[in-house]
Amino acid sequence: MFTSTQTSETPTTRGHGCRAESAAIRANRSSGTRVGAWVSSLAVCLVLAACSGGGGGGGGATSGSGTAGALDVLKVTVTDTFGAGVPSATVRGAQSSSITDARGVALLQVDGGKGNADVTITRESFLNKSVAAPVKAGQVNEIAVTLERATSAAGGSLASRSGTLPSVNGTGQQITFEIELVVVDGDSRPIDNLTLSDFALRPCTPDPANTSSDCVRGPGADSDVAYEPAPATPESLALIPAGTAMPFAAALLMDQSASVLQADPTGARLFSAKAFLTGMGTDDHALMAAFAGGPYALLPTVPLTVYGPFKDKGAAPSYFPILDALSPLVGGNTPLYESVDALRLQVVSDAALPAGLAKALVVFTDGADTNCGDAQTCRARREQSIQGAKSDGTRLFTVGLSKGVDIAALGELANQTGGALLYADSPEQLLPLYGSVGKLLSLSLPTYRLRWTVQAGTTGAFPPGSTLVGRVQVTSKGSTFDVPFIVGIP
């Protein structure tokens, strides 16, 4: 069992008391200041809530008129760098605090007589931001604030392209194998200066409470075993240079099942998809799709909704409103293999695509297929998806978020079709991964080819047809993160 930790910030609000009616509201009435009806209503509600001691109010301050507790209103609109509203952000001022609504809007009580209001905006997975907002007494003031996503280094794995197959010793207790890793920084730039000591293979011990295999997944009934590397650092390392970029046609498939609300509460997957579309090459094409199943799925078409047709780089931003609309459409279960097969067939049959494009699916999920049945049935169903993709020449790139993903399943889908397994312990790693997947698709990203030997205390621990599941700890610029991988044993 491999473990990792993730921390998050919990927004808080504060409440204060005030006079029965704000001088700012009276001033608006007398001066005839024109604001939107909903802003006026919210401003009144905010002040009245504060007067009754409710959260988000403010008081005890002195406005420009010198009347104690007389405060004005500041409307704060918080968006991300693509212009989408950021909901549930905490907006704090000197007199009050508030939480942004679904459009990214919050109202604060401020002292308009001071000329400026210091405001701090925080949201999990975003960089905190502080601004000085110009304010005037007697009116609803407005300010727009852009929050940037927080990012961190991340990586992915793919099958070694050297042609060297894993080698198991005579007792089946030791296996030597090669894998390739891609490592990128928080800006999606490849990290290409690492050495042997920057990589460490983690030992693995099965978790008795886990119903699926942690370390070795067998071809039939799973019999998991512990293993440890000998040693943890790789036996060899080679940096494989990037190749010449090749144009591609990629369909992005987004998991919209109910568990996504917990794994990705800030919509980092949707933001990252925009970054992918923005970074496309001139000759690349992309298609958007989403999946979820069962009676609680909220997509227009269940289990798969395809937002066609394919778009080139110039038209790709027209997918942004669709991605924004997906944000609340979360519910249902995870029919992964059924959705992959249906989308793949649509991609390969699209006669409008230019000839010669490499075809791929980029599949985001935070869990495992919930519709395929027991372990053996799911394995057979997954193999069907793999064989279909290999027959069509379609590579599968899987992006997993959170501990709930089935690493072995996503790794098999990717490795056996010529794709890559990308993994994020936290939403902060999604943006760098999506930013690099385009280069992976076009084969223009350098990789590290690494060799290890692991051993188990059980005879026959690595039988033919089984899968070794592992994690490599990568150290770069003082920080560490894990990159999961799988190795198919012939």
Q: Which pair of structure tokens corresponds to residue 116?
A: 């400026």
User: pLDDT-based confidence at 19, cuts 50/70/90?
Assistant: very low
Q: Is 80 exceeded by the pLDDT of residue 98? A: yes
User: pLDDT-based confidence at 127, cuts 50/70/90?
Assistant: very high
The per-residue pLDDT for 9 is: 35
Instruction: For residues 470 and 489, give the distance between their C-alpha atoms in angstroms, rounded to a whole number.
Output: 13
The per-residue pLDDT for 477 is: 92
415, containing H or E segment: helix 407-415
Mean pLDDT of 45-50: 45
User: pLDDT-based confidence at 375, cuts 50/70/90?
Assistant: confident
* Position 76, amino acid: V
The per-residue pLDDT for 11 is: 35
Q: Is 70 exceeded by the pLDDT of residue 386? A: yes
Out of 29-43, 106-120, 356-370, 441-455, least confident range: 29-43
Q: Identify the three-state secondary structure at position 233.
A: coil
Mean pLDDT of 200-210: 91
Instruction: For residues 310 and 307, give the distance between their C-alpha atoms in angstroms, rounded to a whole number.
Output: 9
Instruction: Give per-residue pLDDT as tens, 397-426.
Output: 999 998 889 999 999 999 999 999 999 999
The per-residue pLDDT for 22 is: 39
- Preceding omega of 303 cis (within 30 degrees of 0): yes
Who contacts 324 (Cβ-Cβ below 8 Å, separation ≥6)? Answer: 84, 270
Mean pLDDT of 10-36: 37
The per-residue pLDDT for 212 is: 74
Instruction: For residues 467 and 379, give the distance between their C-alpha atoms in angstroms, rounded to a whole number.
Output: 12
Instruction: For residues 170 and 383, give the distance between their C-alpha atoms in angstroms, rounded to a whole number.
Output: 28
Q: Is 70 exceeded by the pLDDT of residue 6? A: no
Instruction: Give per-residue pLDDT as tens, 319-362.
Output: 999 999 999 999 999 999 999 999 999 999 999 999 999 999 99
Mean pLDDT of 11-25: 35
Q: Are 151 and 432 in contact (CB under 8 A)?
A: yes
The per-residue pLDDT for 38 is: 47
The per-residue pLDDT for 208 is: 84
Q: Is 50 exceeded by the pLDDT of residue 437? A: yes
> Which among 41, 36, 43, 46 is positioned nearest to 15, based on CA atoms?
46
Instruction: Give per-residue pLDDT as tens, 104-121.
Output: 999 999 998 999 999 999
Mean pLDDT of 262-269: 95
Greater model confidence, 209 or 121: 121
Residue with tokens 């999946």: 291
Q: Is 50 exceeded by the pLDDT of residue 277? A: yes
Q: Is 80 exceeded by the pLDDT of residue 280? A: yes
User: pLDDT-based confidence at 23, cuts 50/70/90?
Assistant: very low
User: pLDDT-based confidence at 95, cuts 50/70/90?
Assistant: very high
Q: Are 469 and 203 in contact (CB under 8 A)?
A: no
* Position 481, amino acid: F
Mean pLDDT of the chain: 88
Q: 72-79 and 140-146: which strand pairing?
A: parallel
Domains located in the chain, CATH noted:
23-146 (2.60.40.1120), 242-445 (3.40.50.410)
Share of the chain above pLDDT 70, in %: 85
The per-residue pLDDT for 1 is: 52
Mean pLDDT of 119-131: 98
Instruction: Give per-residue pLDDT as tens, 210-252.
Output: 777 789 998 765 679 999 999 999 999 999 999 999 999 999 9
The per-residue pLDDT for 305 is: 98
User: pLDDT-based confidence at 82, cuts 50/70/90?
Assistant: very high
Instruction: For residues 47 and 12, give the distance between their C-alpha atoms in angstroms, rounded to a whole number.
Output: 19
Q: Is 90 exceeded by the pLDDT of residue 47? A: no
Instruction: For residues 296 and 54, give the distance between their C-alpha atoms in angstroms, rounded to a whole number.
Output: 35
Q: Which pTM was predicted?
A: 0.86
* C-beta neighbour count of 427 within 10 angstroms: 26
Instruction: For residues 401 and 366, give the distance between their C-alpha atoms in angstroms, rounded to a whole number.
Output: 5
Mean pLDDT of 63-81: 73
